[in-house]
């Protein structure tokens, strides 16, 4: 009996799967999910099978596995270097951070691909460390990954960007970022990791002026570390141009057309880029995204604006080739990544 339970536990560590006892423990904590998440989980449950892996930031991993019975990329269990084969939590969290924050779709695909099988070397290690395992463990092949981009990640984005710091800095020669000693040096001793965020602006509805189907003026206010910041959006011959401090143009303005409700992106002429908190120039390289409700907007620097998560959540995967949108509601977007 002990061997059986040990087998289930190690299998969970290898492919992030949770057995019934862990699901029960999760249920006893009283975690709740809303209707948007419930419908997303039902989709996964209906369409996934034993050859499916679900990937997203690790926070909802226990819920996903417990509700759907599917394997997950990460579940919040901080397993050690000795107990997690083939990849421990330190590696998985870096990988997921990089997937969410890179602008390179192919790179994200290749990172996910390594979670679809065990190499001969990894299989050998499993057999040496856990001799009670059946040979079939080495024949497991993930054929499909469902990747989740969810609304909560907007406000957690600092952490994926933070944990992707090493892989981002040393790309493409970043294999040392997976070494225990280098991770400890980089993150804990040198403290080189840096985060980034989506800056949220609340629309001052009293200053919205709309004539017919044309947006004439939108003004946003917020408090930043540098003091009060004003952003305005004006119509210049049919093109929306955003400015902050009433002076510096923002390179891109994304908004929903008032007539067609289609998402558009207008581009400003950007000859001399500046940093929003740095050197002066005439244009901020980034994007102002105005929500369809016209009540909030997000200001993104160029790295955040071009990230895979932005493309997935804010643009529903438009122009992505390897990630196919298969489920969509206001809070949860699910993409299918096929490895067959």
Q: What is the mean pLDDT of each run of 10 residues along the chain (340 residues)?
A: 33 39 34 85 96 94 93 80 78 96 97 91 82 74 95 96 98 95 95 94 62 52 57 78 78 86 87 53 84 86 96 97 97 93
Q: State the angle between helix axes of 61-68 and 20-28 in degrees (0 to 180), rounded to the nearest 10.
A: 120
Bridge pairing between strands 332-338 and 324-328:
antiparallel
Q: Is the pTM of this model over 0.85?
A: no
In this predicted model, what pLDDT tens digit does every residue of 90-130 receive, in sequence order? 999 999 999 999 999 999 999 999 999 888 888 888 888 77
- 91 closest CA partner among 187, 11, 212: 187
Count how many residues are written for the chain.
Answer: 340
Using CA atoms, how far apart are residues 142 and 118, in angstroms rounded to an integer? 10
- Give, as one character, the DSSP assignment of residue 103: S
Q: Do the Cβ atoms of 244 and 250 come closer than 8 Å?
A: yes
pLDDT of residue 24: 30
The C-alpha atoms of residue 203 and residue 290 are separated, in whole angstroms, by 9
Q: How far apart are CA 230 and CA 223, in angstroms?
A: 9
């Amino acid at each position: 009996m002990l061997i059986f339970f040990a087998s289930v536990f190690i299998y969970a560590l290898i492919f992030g799967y949770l057995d019934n006892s862990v699901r029960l423990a999760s249920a006893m904590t009283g975690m709740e999910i809303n209707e948007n998440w419930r419908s997303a989980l039902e989709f996964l449950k209906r369409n996934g099978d034993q050859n499916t892996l679900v990937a997203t930031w690790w926070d909802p991993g226990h819920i996903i596995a417990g509700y759907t019975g599917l394997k997950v990329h990460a579940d919040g269990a901080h397993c050690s270097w000795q107990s997690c084969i083939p990849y421990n939590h330190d590696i998985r969290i870096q990988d997921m951070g990089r997937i969410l924050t890179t602008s390179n779709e192919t790179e994200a695909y290749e990172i996910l691909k390594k979670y679809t099988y065990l190499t001969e070397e990894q299989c050998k290690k499993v057999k040496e460390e856990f001799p009670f395992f059946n040979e079939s463990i080495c024949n497991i092949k993930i054929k499909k990954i469902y990747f989740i981009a969810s609304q909560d990640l907007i406000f957690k984005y600092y952490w994926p960007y933070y944990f992707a710091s090493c892989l981002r800095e040393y790309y493409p020669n970043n294999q040392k970022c997976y070494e225990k000693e280098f991770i400890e040096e980089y993150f804990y001793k040198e403290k080189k990791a840096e985060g980034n965020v989506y800056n949220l602006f609340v629309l001052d509805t009293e200053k919205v002026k709309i004539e017919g189907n044309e947006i004439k003026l939108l003004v946003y206010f917020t408090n930043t570390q540098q003091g009060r910041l004003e952003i305005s959006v004006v119509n210049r011959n049919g093109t929306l141009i955003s400015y902050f401090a009433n002076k510096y143009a923002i390179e891109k303005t994304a908004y929903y057309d008032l007539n067609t409700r289609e998402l558009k992106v207008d581009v400003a002429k950007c000859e001399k880029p500046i940093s929003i908190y740095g050197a002066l120039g005439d244009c901020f390289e980034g994007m102002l995204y105005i929500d369809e409700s016209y009540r909030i907007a997000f200001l993104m620097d160029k790295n955040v604006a071009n990230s895979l998560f932005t493309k997935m959540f804010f643009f529903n995967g438009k122009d992505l080739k390897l990630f196919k949108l298969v489920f969509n509601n206001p809070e949860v977007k699910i993409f299918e990544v096929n490895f067959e």
